[in-house]
Amino acid sequence: MSTERSFLAALRALPNDPAARGLLDDAAVLEIGGVRLVLTKDMLVEGVHYLADDPPADVAWKLLAVNLSDLAAKGARPRAALLGYMLGEEAWDLAFLAGMQTALASFAVPLLGGDTVSGPAGSARVLSLTAIGLADGPVPSRSGAEAGDLLWVSGSIGDAGAGLATLRGELAGSEPLVRRYRAPRPRLEAGQALAPLVSAMMDVSDGLLIDADRLGHASGVGTTLELEAIPLSEAFLVACGSDRDARLRAATAGDDYELLFTAAPGRASQLLALAETLGLPLTRIGRIEAGAGLQVTEHGAAVALPDRLGYEHGTG
Amino acid sequence: MSTERSFLAALRALPNDPAARGLLDDAAVLEIGGVRLVLTKDMLVEGVHYLADDPPADVAWKLLAVNLSDLAAKGARPRAALLGYMLGEEAWDLAFLAGMQTALASFAVPLLGGDTVSGPAGSARVLSLTAIGLADGPVPSRSGAEAGDLLWVSGSIGDAGAGLATLRGELAGSEPLVRRYRAPRPRLEAGQALAPLVSAMMDVSDGLLIDADRLGHASGVGTTLELEAIPLSEAFLVACGSDRDARLRAATAGDDYELLFTAAPGRASQLLALAETLGLPLTRIGRIEAGAGLQVTEHGAAVALPDRLGYEHGTG
């Protein structure tokens, strides 16, 4: 089995186009005749990215939402989707379609086409979606963070991971945590409002620590993340508490689909005012420094990095 | 198991956008700020759309080529591709990537991004590609054929099907037939040249008969296909002959990736001159009439339709 890391290294060595952003970003940005298209494609595999007994309507929602989250991170508004669908059991298929219709309507995105295939008997179902967005202004990359910038995140971190643990019977979490796992909300409005204010932005899909490390790496800077500053929800606090282990759990769990971004310190009051307007917390969780690598602190003292910073299952 | 037919009927019942062309065309056509984007997404499943022992570089070629064939049918030039890749055995993955690099370079298409996933052990590999093209002129649909138009096809029909039968040990075909199966050539140049001349156009992917029937159905007209006019290659003639069974075999085999189109009779000399210029045969194979349904004739006499007109595994 290839490791994803070695495959991606080979993929990135192919000759590529500036629009590909080195295959290091959440999405491609293609400028054609004054129009700025943002393109992303994410797949979900049964048993890997969703559970076989997850409700099909939730799987449909998630398939669209994870793609729209990439658009959100680039400040784009969704314009269209293409679906790659593997047929299975008919009741599941129809429930999936009904869920997809709800999700498409909720985000006002038309489904423009795609492909429908059959898989061999017993194969895991594979679902694919391509989302096409339009950006009206600047499209933040992962690579624009500069020493001196502050590191911010939207919403709360760790809820989806706690929801997954609940579904697996490993945690006594509440329904809101499960909803965060099954039905993530892409931060589209926030992404569009943040795009002109940030120096770098991405979505948190694989875990706060691994994604912060990627942002620092893409920008050629060091990242310091303050564990005590990570925003946790009430539901997470009830289920997991807020000690160091709980915070590390939240920061390595994945599936948050929040926005992680950097901005010059002078932007702070503007960002806090924007949070009020959006009704979505924007929380300063660290800082960017000259150098390289990820450092985690707790009340100023260095904390050893966990062995696993998050999931490695996505190119964006 | 859903039938593809019932799933597609449910899919087409979703509210949709004019750009989706009713999910009945080879591709979506999205106009944004004076730019005409043509969008398509096709998947290949191991054991369904390619053989597990097909060379990985050929699978890569085919994944790109089948998508570019949809762009060709809409008269578009390819601008970008996104890849959805399921990791497997490392040597296969790297050979696939090398083949993808060759294919991308051959068609001058940059890979802009996508997603890489792992599948559960033992699952069939699923590959997905999204191709984005630009159209400089009119974008022919499947639905523009009118009574009185003539029906044409590019190249030769049945080669890929004979190649697949050869690989399966069912036929003693030659290497050129196998190449047509494994490494189809999308008719990009022809598609762009034909787009302003045709009334309807699509690619032949699932079989000439089923695709001609789809074109007629989308256009609300009847289609008559003249069996004796179907263009057959030398390699096909050597392997299969040219009697009625051979011609029906060719017309129901699929994987041709030729262009099927209709044009007013007055266009005939222009089309034959274009064939000379392109170095690609363009052959009149039938006519469009008022009414509905597909009729097949041989030297003017009706021929009973075979039970199976082609494959039903693609929405375009």
* β-sheet bridge partners, residue A192: none
Chain A hits for B120, CB-CB cut-off 8 Å, are: 45-48, 124
Of B45, B44, B39, B3, give the one whose Cα is nearest residue B23.
Answer: B39
* β-sheet bridge partners, residue B287: B150, B224
CB contact under 8 A, A7 and B126: no
Report the interhelical angle of B175-182 vs B56-73 (nearest 10°).
70
* β-sheet bridge partners, residue B48: none
Q: Is the pLDDT of residue A316 over 70?
A: no
Of A17, A114, A313, the CB nearest to B118: A313
Of B19, B33, B110, the CB nearest to A34: B33
For A98-107, how does the pLDDT look when each residue is reduced to its tens digit (9 = 90+)?
999 999 999 9
Report how far apart, in Å, the C-alpha atoms of B226 and of each of A280, B106, B303 are.
Answer: 65, 35, 10
CB contact under 8 A, A43 and B80: no
Of B48, B97, B119, the CB nearest to A124: B119
* β-sheet bridge partners, residue A181: none
Round to whole Å and give the CA distance between B17 and B23.
9
Alpha-carbon distance B114 to nearest alpha carbon in chain A (angstroms): 5
Q: What is the DSSP letter of A124?
A: P
CB contact under 8 A, B89 and A2: yes
In a 3-state reduction of DSSP, which class is residue A74? coil
Q: Please work out, in degrees rounded to the nearest 5, the angle formed at the alpha carbon of residue B116 by the alpha carbons of B110 and B121.
A: 145
Indicate the residue type of B115.
Answer: D
pTM for this structure?
Answer: 0.92
> What's the number of CA atoms in the CB half-sphere (13 Å) around residue A41?
34
Round to whole Å and give the CA distance between B177 and B64.
19
Q: What are phi and psi of B136, to 5 degrees?
A: -90, -20
ipTM of the complex: 0.89
> What's the number of CA atoms in the CB half-sphere (13 Å) around residue B27?
33
* β-sheet bridge partners, residue A259: A203
Round to whole Å and give the CA distance between B15 and B30.
16
End-to-end CA distance of chain B, in Å?
A: 21
Alpha-carbon distance B247 to nearest alpha carbon in chain A (angstroms): 27
Chain B hits for A114, CB-CB cut-off 8 Å, are: 41, 315
Round to whole Å and give the CA distance between B185 and B174.
18
Indicate the length of chain A as a whole number.
316
In a 3-state reduction of DSSP, which class is residue A307? coil
Cβ atoms < 10 Å from Cβ of A89: 12
CB contact under 8 A, B113 and A10: no
Chain B hits for A15, CB-CB cut-off 8 Å, are: 101, 105, 110
CB contact under 8 A, A34 and B37: no
Task: Supply the DSSP string of B100-169, one letter for each residue.
Answer: HHHHHHHHT--EEEEEEEE--TTPPPEEEEEEEEE-SS----SS---TT-EEEEES-SSHHHHHHHHHTT
Q: Is the pLDDT of residue A174 over 80?
A: yes
Q: Please work out, in degrees rounded to the nearest 5, the angle formed at the alpha carbon of residue B116 by the alpha carbons of B115 and B122.
A: 135
Please give chain B's pLDDT, 316 residues, in tens: 567 788 888 888 876 788 888 888 889 999 988 889 999 999 999 988 898 899 999 999 999 999 999 999 999 999 999 999 999 999 999 999 999 999 999 999 999 998 999 888 888 899 999 999 999 999 999 999 999 999 999 999 999 999 999 999 999 999 999 999 999 999 999 999 999 999 999 999 999 999 999 999 999 999 999 999 999 999 999 999 999 999 999 999 999 999 999 999 999 999 999 999 999 999 999 999 999 999 999 999 999 999 999 987 543 3
For A73-128, how does the pLDDT look when each residue is reduced to its tens digit (9 = 90+)?
999 999 999 999 999 999 999 999 999 999 999 999 999 998 999 888 888 899 99
Instruction: Number of A to B CB contacts under 8 A, please give it.
Output: 267
CB contact under 8 A, A39 and B113: yes
